[in-house]
Amino acid sequence: MHTKQIVVTGVALVLTVLLFHWFSIDLWLEDYFYNPDLKQWILDKDQKIAKLIFYDGIKRIYVFSIILLSAALLIFKNKHIIKTYRQGLMIVLLSCVAVPVVVGGLKGITNTPCPKDITHYNGHILYVDFLDTYLEDFTQTGNQLCFPAAHASGGFALLSLFFLFKTRKNKMLALAAAMTTGWTTGLYKMLIGDHFLSHTIVTMLLAWLIILIIARTIHSKNFFSISHKARAGDTVTLTANK
């Protein structure tokens, strides 16, 4: 099942990149968030309350969630609870690390500018997307770090909570909470000119793809049996040494 979902998500990711490359959807939508007469975005990134609610606050919730889940994995002594939720907890924790790392790594090499940096919005760089190349006579002073949307990746990493819960209702609530968190950050960054719509959509699909790969690995029959055998081997070795 995971394999099929991985393929579907991968295809959706590629089609999304191509769709936004072929059509000017990003510029069309972002134009609604920018006032060319006042040369300012619909939301000022220096507004402290908005930044606290939609940016800093969400980041703190994300970090707190990771700490809470890590504590649950380490502190719970009930063997039944650990056995029931061990795989789910590992998927969530690994996803919360892997998704931001991968997205952040890609952001460092894609060399794609933010909306606020392009000439269309009074910046100094011509608009290019992930698949475009800069003009030969354009001299860069530094690498552009805007694609994918790294800050939204933390929220979308929480899509992994889907694999933690057992009932369909709780799984759907987890997905809804994660989507709300990721898109709240993503939309905020669009309103202040830090990201295009495609940046957030690609981050969402990439996050889900990474989560599915992690879940498939964790759910594989041999994953835990290997670790059990390793521990058993260590026990035998220790006993023999005694």
CB atoms within 10 A of CB 152: 29
* Between 217 and 76, residue with greater pLDDT: 217
Percent of the chain with pLDDT over 90: 56
Report the C-alpha gap between 31 and 122 in whole angstroms. 12
The token pair that represents 187 in the structure block: 């939309």
**More confident call, 64 vs 111:** 111
Q: Are 42 and 35 in contact (CB under 8 A)?
A: yes
As given in the structure block, the two tokens for residue 56 are: 């800093």
Of 57-61, 70-74, 203-207, 223-227, which has the strongest mean pLDDT? Answer: 203-207
C-alpha distances out from residue 14 to 71, 157, 160, 202, Å:
37, 19, 21, 9
Contact 147, 130 (CB under 8 A): yes
Matching residue, tokens 């039944």: 80
Comparing C-alpha atoms, which of 209, 103, 117, 116 is closest to residue 151?
Answer: 103
> pLDDT for 37-75, tens place per residue?
999 999 998 888 888 777 777 777 777 777 777 676 666
Rounded to whole angstroms, the Cα distance separating 200 from 182 reads 8
Kindly state the average pLDDT of the residues 100-119.
94
Evaluate the omega torsion of the peptide bond into residue 148 and state whether it is cis, within 30 degrees of 0. yes
123's tokens: 């910046």
Residue 138 CB-density burial (10 A; 0-12 exposed, 13-18 middle, 19+ buried): exposed
Helix (H, G, I), strand (E, B) or coil at 216: helix
pLDDT band at 5 (very low <50, low <70, confident <90, very high): very high
Q: Give the pLDDT of residue 9.
A: 97
The Cα–Cα gap between 78 and 181 comes to: 31
**Cα–Cα distance between 207 and 103 in angstroms, integer?**
8
Res. 32: pLDDT tops 60: yes
Is residue 236's pLDDT more than 90? Answer: no
* Whether residue 147 has pLDDT greater than 90: yes
The arithmetic mean of pLDDT across residues 7-28, rounded, is: 96
Contact of 128 with 113, CB cutoff 8 Å: yes
Q: Which helix or strand (DSSP H or E) is residue 44 part of?
A: none
What pTM did the predictor assign?
A: 0.85
pLDDT at 79 (0 to 100): 61
**Euclidean distance between the first and the last CA atom of the chain, given in angstroms as a whole number:** 46
